[in-house]
């Protein structure tokens, strides 16, 4: 419950920040990406490779587009097998994940723009070993990536995100996407 409240608070702050920006500084972006996730379920011996389709939206705090708030939601596309601590093989899939992030990036005057992310992510999964069971993982997330401008308002992005990392589970994402600025 705390994780849900924390995620909702970050999303609320993100949206509130976007609304509070002065009209001349308001500019935003949307992205869509294919996510390759490495998911190590709670108390597992091995990890699973699952994928998702991610949608993101964000708004810049300044005209140089170097600091932004961003929200994301993704839907899982498939499942993979893993082995739990008892040696039993099972399947796991991402149902969905969502998060809120702060993003720092090189100015919009360069065509290749590295960036860093910090935020909170909640990943909801279904695990099937001896029956079906839903689990969720929430944690502080850290990531880095690069945007490559194709046109004034179109860019492609490649990103690595450590979505969750606790003592018994881990989710990392590698995302290839396309986005547009408005």
pLDDT in tens, 52-91: 999 999 999 988 889 999 999 999 998 887 877 777 788 8
pLDDT in tens, 99-150: 999 999 998 888 999 999 999 999 898 888 777 778 888 889 999 999 999 9
Residue 110: its H or E element: none
Average pLDDT of the chain, as a whole number: 82
pLDDT in tens, 25-41: 448 999 999 999 988 87
Instruction: Please identify which residue in the block is written with the tokens 């409240």.
Output: 5
pLDDT in tens, 138-172: 889 999 999 999 988 899 999 999 987 776 678 88
Higher pLDDT, 10 or 149: 149
């Amino acid at each position: 419950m705390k994780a849900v409240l924390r995620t909702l608070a970050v999303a609320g702050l993100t949206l509130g920040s976007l609304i509070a920006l002065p009209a001349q500084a308001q500019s935003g972006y949307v992205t869509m990406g294919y996510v390759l996730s490495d998911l190590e379920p709670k108390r597992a011996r091995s990890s699973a490779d699952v994928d998702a389709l991610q949608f993101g939206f964000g708004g810049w705090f300044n005209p140089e587009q170097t600091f932004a708030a961003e929200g994301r939601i993704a839907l899982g596309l498939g499942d993979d097998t893993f082995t739990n601590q008892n040696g039993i093989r099972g399947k796991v899939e991402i149902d969905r994940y969502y998060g809120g992030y702060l993003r720092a990036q090189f100015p919009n005057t360069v065509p290749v723009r590295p960036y860093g992310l910090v935020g909170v992510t909640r990943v909801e999964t279904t695990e099937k070993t001896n029956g079906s069971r839903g689990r969720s993982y929430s944690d502080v997330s850290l990531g880095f990536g690069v945007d490559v401008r194709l046109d004034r308002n179109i860019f492609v992005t490649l990103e690595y995100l450590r979505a969750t990392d606790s003592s018994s589970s881990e989710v990392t994402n590698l995302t290839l996407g396309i986005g547009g600025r408005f």
